[in-house]
Amino acid sequence: MNREIRELLEGATELQLRYVMARVEHRRHRDAFKALGMDKSTPAHWDNRAALDRAVRLILLGRLEALAADFSTMDVPNRPISATFD
């Protein structure tokens, strides 16, 4: 985990850390709340909500960068992809 993410999550409660991980795993806030059994208004009361949301964005960006790096090292033929549908 990079230093900025660690700093953003420093002092977060267990529930807040679980929220961050649920947001990473679920596309929509609503789905993350449901997975945690959390009321959707709960994070609105957190003073560190902006830091938690930034941590989510950085984690997702890191995953995207890792995927891009993996893709760039794949041995993929350099030809157009074509498909035939019957």
Could you read off the pLDDT of 9-49 as tens digits, one per residue? 999 999 999 999 999 999 998 999 999 999 989 998 999 99
Sign for the CA dihedral angle at 15, 37, 5, 66 comes to positive
pLDDT value for 67: 85
Can you say how many angstroms the Cα of residue 1 is from the centroid of all Cα atoms in its chain? 13
pTM of the predicted protein model: 0.77
Helical (H) or strand (E) element with 4? helix 3-9
pLDDT of residue 81: 62
Which residues, other chains included, contact 23 with Cβ-Cβ below 8 Å and sequence gap of 6+? Answer: 29, 32, 53, 56
User: Which spans in 10-78 are helix H?
Assistant: 14-25, 29-36, 49-72
83 confidence band (pLDDT: 50, 70, 90)? low
